[in-house]
A and B are shown apart, each in its own frame.
Chain A
């Protein structure tokens, strides 16, 4: 595997479910990001981890819970989501604050 990978690519969940999104980067970077992408809106930065420490948390609802166990892996734990949380969730990585490399995203649908 090369670059940034994300699993699953598609996820449908009910409002009472608990699920997790996984991101893995194979680039040796020290920073990882979660973004939310909705149609016709700017990308919304959710969380940033640098050297496994959370450095940004942009007022994201607590129903989204990130976890960064090491510099190569990033998770986004989801629980009791709302239909308006349906979107494409993108993971990215970078070396320091340089160019961000993105994964293909997880298309999330909340019923």
Chain B
């Protein structure tokens, strides 16, 4: 079983619409949670950290549910530039080792 599981998508989203997707993690001892964004043929880059109380960064909202062991990402008012693969990432220790999900592809269409 994978440590971090994501729906691969693609999620096809009309421009201006809202899209949300989840990620589940298997290790209840996971310490930190993140969403990374990876554009086609590019390297992953940190989108946002995910805090226990939930957090927003502009049009992006991240939630953490420790009891059910999942995190979510919601994108409001989708832009064409939001088209990317979103990687769910968790850490298990303080060394900075990351466990990555395989990614959820989002395609925003005009």
Are chains A and B native binding partners rather than an unrelated pairing?
Answer: no
